[in-house]
Each structure stands twice: as structure tokens, then as C-alpha cells.
Structure 1
Amino acid sequence: MASIFETVKGLSNGNQIADKSSSRILHPNIHRANPKVISAKGLYMTLENGQIILDATGGPAVTSLGHGNEEVRNAVIQQMDRLSYCHGLSWANPAAEELATAVIDSTDGAMARATMMGSGSEAVEAALKLARQYAVESGEPERFRFIARKGGFHGTTLGALAVTERHGVRDPFEPLLMMDNISFVSTPNLYRGIQDGETTAKYVERLAKELDDEFKRVGPQEVAAFIAETFTGSSTGCLGAPFGYFPAVKAICEKHGSLLILDEVICGMGRTGTYHAWQQENVTPDIQTVAKGLAGGYSPIAMLLMNQKVVDGLLLGRGFFNHGHTYGFHPVACAAAAEVQKILKRDNLLQNVTAMGDLLGSELKEAFKDNPNVGDIRGRGLFWAVEFVSDKSSKKPFPATKGVARKIKQLGMTEKHNIALQTGSGTVDGEVGDHLLISPPYTVTAEEIETIVKLAVSVVEEVLSQV
């Protein structure tokens, strides 16, 4: 196979590569445009060719209310009639204030202030900058290092990518990162990480020691923050930490004077059954990111939350956060998110997340219990993953060349199955390993759960029978 450099050289010599797509969009596969969605309602998307697809994942766990919610639509229209844009660094707007109040209140006093931007990657960028500025304002300018976790995914902008240890997305841009102040420790993995005969408590102790040792290795006085996903997302497939892990992590951060950043871009705002995933971990972060469930896909928006200690650090320093975006605090985006959060609370949807999440987990475990290529089924709330293996006893993953995850996703979208499934590869080490992610909206019913599982099993079994 020709390398990318040989391909570019060929083009420069006048050769042409067949481009089968008439789209002017640079799609992920440049040779083939993605299927075109023309409308969506509830859990179903209608394609340009008339095909109707059951959206079992809402993209990467985005659509918390499903598609086509009329109340959110009306809130957006009303906001546009009042105010469609004002520069967030110069003006305040009621929609942003309403959203900030709702989200801060959902932390039960743990967090104090919020700022808003357009995406999860932007929120992570802001979190890193805030941690650094807090150190400077607190009289510790030597704190410039960050510790993150192996296999974690925090975004695709350069700062977020620097704390992401995923070779597939990181390697081509390594020279651009220019950051030698990032190091990585293990991500808790109760399926692959815990040793034979090791108790959960001993595993937590080992992970905590690894983090503490890393602080000491790089110089604890130089570490600004430790960043971690509270509940991992699409990169490693819904990995939760063992009980006691996050309190141990927070204690280590406090011992060394470092901040704890929890990335809840994908797992926050109700996805795991509570407004914030850390509310189930007996720990509170100093800085937190949220995004996908915030507006449920009705508008691009993310938020950065911080506790009072961080706010006080800014107040005692220059009195402002040296960061901002043109579309920060966007009134229309904030209005959409505020309405989503209003509906979430009014309709007690977190109760449904828990009840339907329990059903989804039990249905998946029952359906796949005898499948020799299903290694692990894990999740929380409406956020579940199925990890595939070539050998169940050894937990050996399929070779990357088999493309198991890709094939499952592609087969699901055919007219034979008509289901959109989010899949991931590189689950084990960034190179090998495949998983399936299921994350329906918080409004999902028991009947819809049964349909999703039935269709997912059909797709998976057909693919696995052929690899």
C-alpha cells in the first residue's frame, strides 16, 4: 500500500486519485460521502433515500431528549426573536445566566461558577488554561505540568490532544503539540487491569501509588492538575473506576497541592444516572467539563465549571480568566441547553435513565451471555459498552486488520438492520480492541430498549460469524 507521502508525490506528478464523492464536504472517508440525514424524530432518522434508521446511540451519547423536541425548538425560536447574538466577553445575556444557574445548582453547591464555549475540546482547553492560571495567580508559577491517563480521550484541539494518549488520533500531530509537560498513568480497568487474585481494594491502592509515584517523579511542585474522565467514553468503552479510586486520587492531588480536573464531556449531565458522574464517586473536582448532554445535540455548547477555591484564586489575582471565544455564551445555544435542562428536571428523567439503564444492562448481558466473542459488558445509566474478543479465556482482542468495530457500524446502517450503532476500535491499547457503545436518549422506553438490543445482537452476531 502506498504511503501518504507517495500518494502526495503521485498527485504532484500529475496523477489523479479517484474521488467517488460529489460532495464538497471533507467527509471522514474522503472517497465516500456519509449517508445524508434529512429529518429525525424521537429515536428515528430518515435518510435521503427514504431509509429509516433507529438511532441507538445519539451519535457519541449526545441526544439526551431524542430528536425533534418541540419545546426546545420553540425555546430556540423565541430566543432568536429576542436576541440571536452578543459578544460574551463584553455583554451578559439572560439565557446564559439561566443555564449557568441550572447547572451550578445541579452540583449541590460543589461548584461555584461556569463559563461557556462551543465544544468539549474547547472546554478541556479552557480547563488546562484555568488550572495553569490558578497556579500563577496563587503564587506558584512553577506549576506547568499535567498528569493524564493512558487510553483517555479529551478532544482533538492541540491542548486537549496533548492530554490524550490515543496513538491513532495523536501520532500524526505529535510534532505540533510541542508539550513535554504531559505524562500518563494507568486508567482503571476492572476487566483488563486488575490482576489475578487482586482485590478491588488492592487494585485501587496500586493505581493510587502509581499516580503518587508519578507526581514524585516529575516533581510534585510542578504539577498543575491531574485530569481524568470520571467515566470513560467512546475511546475505551464505558470504563468505570472501582469504588474508592477517585477519593484516593483527590487525596493525592491535595497532598501535592495540585488540582483535580474531571472531564465529563460525554458522561455528565445525566448520562450515568446523576447530573454529574462524580456525584456517584464520593468526590468533587476542582474543575469540570460538560458538553454533550448539556443541550442534547440541539446546539453546539459546552461548559467549564469550577469550585470556589479556583474562583478565589482568580479573585486574589488579576480578577479575570484570561480566555474566551467569539461564540462563547451564545444566547441561542444557551437557550437550547437551558430548555433541555428544564425538561430533564421537570420530567424526572434521571429516574428513567436509572430504570432503563438497568434494563439495558440486563438485556445485553442476557443476550450475549453465551457469545464466545463477547468479553465484557459494562456501563452505568444509559451508557453501556460491549467489548469483543477473539478468545474469551485469554481476553485476546481481534487483530486490528479484522475491522470488527467498523464492520458492525457499517452493517447496522444497511436496510437489513436499520440501526445506528456507535463503535470504537483501539479499545485495549489504542491500536487493537473493539467495542460497541449503546447510549439512547433519557426518554427511551422499555419497548425501545428491547428493540435496540434485538437489532444490535443481530448485527453483532452476523459480523462475528464472518471474522
Structure 2
Amino acid sequence: MSPAALIEKAVESKDTNGSIVKGSAVLHRHLHYQPHRVVRASGSNLWLDNGQKVFDSTGGAAVACLGHCNERVKKAVMRQMNEVSYCHSLFFSTSSAEALATELTRSTDGHMTKAFIVSSGSEAMEAALKLARQFHLEKHPPQPQRTRFIARRESYHGTTLGALSVGGHLARRALFEPMLIPKMSWVSPCNAYRGKYKGESDREYVARLAQELDDEFTRVGSDTVCAFVAEPVVGAALGCVPAVAGYFAAMKKVCDKHGALLILDEVMCGMGRTGTLHAWQQEGIVPDLQTIGKALGGGYAPVAGLLINQRVVDVLDKGTGAFAHGQTYQGHPVACAAALEVQRIVREDRLLENVKAMGKKLEAGLKDRLETHPHVGNIRGRGLFWGIEIVEDKATKKPFDPKESIAMGLHEKGMMPKYGISLYPGAGTVDGKCGDHVLLAPAFNVSEADIDFVVDMAARVVEDFFAEY
């Protein structure tokens, strides 16, 4: 996050001796600036310590799918804490962990039969990479030469070293490049706005991308690849870019041809965000491994997970019978209870229907207000997951110079009391270095009035920002 997006102010606190200390003891995103401090939240609204009210149109990072301070979730968390707040998964299980796993696997129509619950999307991706490797070691005959992964450029799969290694976002990798796992390679993302040739049909575009993936398998050695990794709808890295029809079916076919697994990263786009509980349910395929997070627990607890296809479970069952990976807070009872209640609310209140309906309204409103704006290159998304790509030149799709920090400037503009809306900024949209977008991901239970407000304020922010630029 750019320092320009934060409020600079001196924060006073007291040390253990009672002396006044200037500055926060928290290692914030930037040492020289303090972020806005939230003192109260309800529904989609946040109140800051300066008295300002802000509409959280992004759910943080597409996390708060039920909004804030949901009474059912708070009560579920307290019930679990009264039962047991922690126990080690090596020795014990809990009712909340068992019930959450059952809820999740049932939601896949029986395709994904095991759930591995952790505390963050990065941890889920680490687990996915390790399980993919172990799968090939436990096959008969074993294939120990499979040590590589293929992912896509302009992708982001997490911040831990393994997850960062498989990600293709150049700016996020840059500082840690010498420490990252070398056996990774990348192919083009499925980004119709920037990737399709003039006059190329979706079918032709998919065929070209499938051939590129097939060629990459051949280049690195068909029998050396553990898995292909991709987001069904690319979140923060590209700004809500969905694949064109038929893309994932074609990619799955290439993976099957070369004996590799398909890992779908649904940490940001999954658990209902795009209109179906799992984004792959709109693609006509089933992954071998699937990471989930963010809307899984709606921000009520740090929780994410890995869903595992029966195909993978069968190999493990016939082999060692154990996943060679574990974490202290794996299956944390309170996190599982929070996520379970969130998922029950989504199901019982039929919120996916609202995601679809309000998503169509959001799409229509954004396109009506902003599609012809000279600096709006593309509006894309699915469900309640929409991105607005900003360009310097609409005709050529030329991005702004990264030094201009356009996306962060739009976020700052939205945070002004005149607008009172949080827009999620993203940079590196074009190639991991250049390009800007802002992302909208409101709560699943938003009303029509909420969507009208989001559309109006987002449009006014963009229009006023460039009128004054």
C-alpha cells in the first residue's frame, strides 16, 4: 500500500513504565504513516476515529461477505469458545472442524471429499503445492521426478515463499526473487481484454492458450510437472478477470494429457463471490485441488482451506495414508465455528441468489456510468466481484506510468468524506509492473440501495479524480 493512502499523524501510547511514546507499536504497512483507525462497524459500514463513516464496498480484500458484526456468527464463536477454544489436531478433532469439513465437501456434489483447514490463503496454497508433490510420489509407480509447477503470468497466489514462488506477479516477487523456488514457469493468463488478437474468436483464443500450455509442458519435460495452478477469476493481480468460455475445460484436458494435477486458487474468487459457491462450478470442470479463503469465514476469524478431490485421496489412501504436512492452528475450533456459521447463513438465507441478482445490477450500473469514460479501459467481473481497469489512452490501452499511482489515488479520493467509500486499488495490471485497477466486492447481502450507492460513488470518484487530474 502506498503511503499516500494513509493518514499521517502522531499516535501516543504508554510504555510499561507509563511514559508517553510517540508512534504506534504496530509494524504497519509503512513505518512513517498511520492507517485510518476503525472504532466501530455494522453491516457494510465502518466508522473511523475521526467520526467519518465509510461504506466498505470491497469487504476489505473481498473478505467480509456478510458485512460486519453479524449476531449469528458472534454467538457461534462464543458457543465454540465455551466448548473448547483450542486443541492440537494431531491428537484431537472438534465438532466444529468435522461439521465445517462436511459442509464444504457436500457443497461440491461429492467431488471434493476432504478438507484441510488452515489460517490463511498463503498457507492453503503451500499445502496444495506439497500435496500435489506427494500425490505423484505415492502413485504406482511413483514419479519422484515431478518437482515443477506451471502457473500464469500476472497471477498472485500468496505471500509465503512457496506461494510467492508459483505466483507470476513481478512486483510482488522482486524483493525476494533470490529466495524463491526455481522450478516454476508461467504461461499467459486468460485475459480477453489484453490477450485476444484482433478478430480472434473465444474458441480460437482458448485453442491458442491450450497450445501454449501444452508447449510449456513439453519444454520443461512433460513428466516433471506436478500441477498447473490458476485462479478461475483473477483477483487482485488483474482486477477480477474471468476466463472466457471453455478455457478451463481446455486447460484440464492438457493437464490430463501430461499426467499433472489442476490446482484452482479460489481464495479470493470462491465461496460464493462469483455467484456459485465454488467458481469452478461455472466452468464445467472439477479441480484436483482447490484453495479457499476470504469469504469462507467472512473475516470473523483467520481461516482458509484446501479441498481435495477423491482422486487424490484415493492415491494417498493406498499409499502412506498420511499427508506429510501439519500446522499448529490447523482446524482451529473457533475459526471453524466462525466459518461454519458464515457458510450456513449463505446457504440458509439463499445469498447466492442475491449475489447473482445484485451482481447483474452492479455490472449494469458500472457500465452505464463508466464504460465510455476516456480513462476506463475495461469493466469486467462476475457475481459481486468487479474490476475497473484504468488506462491513459483508451484507444491503445496504454497504462499510466506506475509513478502516478493512479489506483491508489482513486482509493484516496474515495476515502474523502465527500464520497465515503473504500475502493480496493491494484497495480501491475498489465505486466506485473504497469497498469492500474480498482476492485469492488461488496457483501453478499447488499441491497439494491447499497448497489446504487456503490455505483454512484465509484463513478463520481473516477469522474472527479480525472476532472482534477
Whether these two folds match at TM > 0.5 is yes
Q: Which residue of 2 aligns with 1:451?
A: 453
Q: Which residue of 1 aligns with 2:330?
A: 328
The residue type paired with residue 414 of structure 1 is M
Segment of structure 1 superposing worse, 152-161 or 20-29: 20-29
C-alpha contact (below 8 Å) 2:149/2:226 kept by paired residues: yes
Among 141, 144, 149, the residue aligned to 2:147: 144
What are the equivalent positions in structure 2 for 1:406-445 lying under 5 Å apart? 406-445=408-447
1:384-410 residue CA offsets vs partner (Å, 9 max, x unmatched): 011111111111111111111011111
1:400 aligns with 2:414: no
The residue type paired with residue 128 of structure 2 is A
Q: Which residue of 2 aligns with 1:466?
A: 468
Q: Which residue of 1 aligns with 2:229?
A: 227
Q: Which residue of 1 aligns with 2:4?
A: none
C-alpha contact (below 8 Å) 1:151/1:430 kept by paired residues: yes
Provide the rounded CA distance (Å) in 2 between the counterparts of 1:103 and 1:66. Answer: 21
The residue type paired with residue 135 of structure 1 is H
What are the equivalent positions in structure 2 for 1:355-366 lying under 5 Å apart? 355-366=357-368
Aligned residue for 1:109, secondary structure, equals coil
Structure 1: state its 5+ residue gaps: 1-19
Segment of structure 1 superposing worse, 203-212 or 308-317: 308-317
1:156 aligns with 2:159: yes
Structure 2: state its 5+ residue gaps: 1-20
Report the CA distance between 1:466 and its aligned residue: 3.2
C-alpha contact (below 8 Å) 2:165/2:182 kept by paired residues: no
Provide the rounded CA distance (Å) in 1 between the counterparts of 2:345 and 2:382. Answer: 22
The number of aligned residues is 447
Among 319, 332, 341, the residue aligned to 1:317: 319
Shift of the 397–133 alpha-carbon distance from structure 1 to 2, 3 Å rule, reads same
Segment of structure 1 superposing worse, 418-427 or 20-29: 20-29
Among 219, 242, 253, the residue aligned to 1:240: 242
Provide the rounded CA distance (Å) in 2 between the counterparts of 1:370 and 1:272. Answer: 25
Shift of the 21–28 alpha-carbon distance from structure 1 to 2, 3 Å rule, reads farther
C-alpha contact (below 8 Å) 2:146/2:224 kept by paired residues: yes
Q: Which residue of 1 aligns with 2:251?
A: 249
Report the CA distance between 1:21 and its aligned residue: 7.0
C-alpha contact (below 8 Å) 2:371/2:379 kept by paired residues: no
Aligned residue for 1:25, secondary structure, equals coil
Provide the rounded CA distance (Å) in 1 between the counterparts of 2:466 and 2:162. Answer: 38
C-alpha contact (below 8 Å) 1:423/1:437 kept by paired residues: yes
What are the equivalent positions in structure 2 for 1:68-147 lying under 5 Å apart? 68-138=69-139, 139-147=142-150
1:91-128 residue CA offsets vs partner (Å, 9 max, x unmatched): 11110011000111111111111111000000000000
Among 168, 171, 194, the residue aligned to 2:171: 168
Provide the rounded CA distance (Å) in 1 between the counterparts of 2:169 and 2:276. Answer: 28
**Which 4+ residue blocks in structure 1 deviate beyond 4 angstroms?**
none
Provide the rounded CA distance (Å) in 2 between the counterparts of 1:72 and 1:366. Answer: 37
Provide the rounded CA distance (Å) in 2 between the counterparts of 1:95 and 1:454. Answer: 41
Shift of the 180–394 alpha-carbon distance from structure 1 to 2, 3 Å rule, reads same
1:319-356 residue CA offsets vs partner (Å, 9 max, x unmatched): 10011110110000000000001111100000000000
What are the equivalent positions in structure 2 for 1:194-209 lying under 5 Å apart? 194-209=196-211
Report the CA distance between 1:463 and its aligned residue: 1.6
Aligned residue for 1:214, secondary structure, equals helix
Provide the rounded CA distance (Å) in 2 between the counterparts of 1:180 and 1:354. Answer: 41
Report the CA distance between 1:38 and its aligned residue: 1.2
C-alpha contact (below 8 Å) 1:387/1:436 kept by paired residues: yes
C-alpha contact (below 8 Å) 1:404/1:463 kept by paired residues: no
